[in-house]
Amino acid sequence: MAEPIQLTDGAQLKEKIASGVAVVQFHATWCKDCIYVKPLYRKLVKESKNSVCIDVDVDKAPQLKAEYKVAHVPTFILYHNGVEQQRIVEPKYEQLEDFMSVAAKL
């Protein structure tokens, strides 16, 4: 996958995570930790073969931030067939690499 899908609509998000493997990143443009992990995340997304990667800007979609119980950004949530498998909050590089490797194995 070349780039993550940008979503702000709850119905579209539910549709994308309903089947297969999906990684959802909740982020904000002002977030320093989001900016810090962005280059690695983009690299890992490009290497991702079997998962859909979705970005949700919490300022553009505050209803999704609340619905998915996101308290801090960045938050990454891994879904398999619509079921949350793993969640990491404000990850360091190694944690994000490990998280994406779990997604690759599903």
Question: In whole angstroms, how far apart are CA 79 and each of 11, 28, 33, 39, 59?
Answer: 15, 21, 22, 22, 22
pLDDT tens digit string along 54-95?
999 999 999 999 999 999 999 999 999 999 999 999 999 999
Catalytic residues: 31, 34
Tell me how far the alpha carbon of residue 61 is from its chain's centroid: 14
CATH assignment, 5-104:
3.40.30.10
Q: Structure pTM? A: 0.96
pLDDT for residue 1 is more than 70: no
Q: What percent of the chain has pLDDT over 70?
A: 98
Say which residues have a Cβ less than 8 Å from residue 19's Cβ, sequence separation at least 6.
Answer: 81, 82
Cα 71 to Cα 61: distance, rounded to the nearest angstrom: 14
pLDDT at 49: 85
Say which residues have a Cβ less than 8 Å from residue 102's Cβ, sequence separation at least 6.
Answer: 78, 85, 86
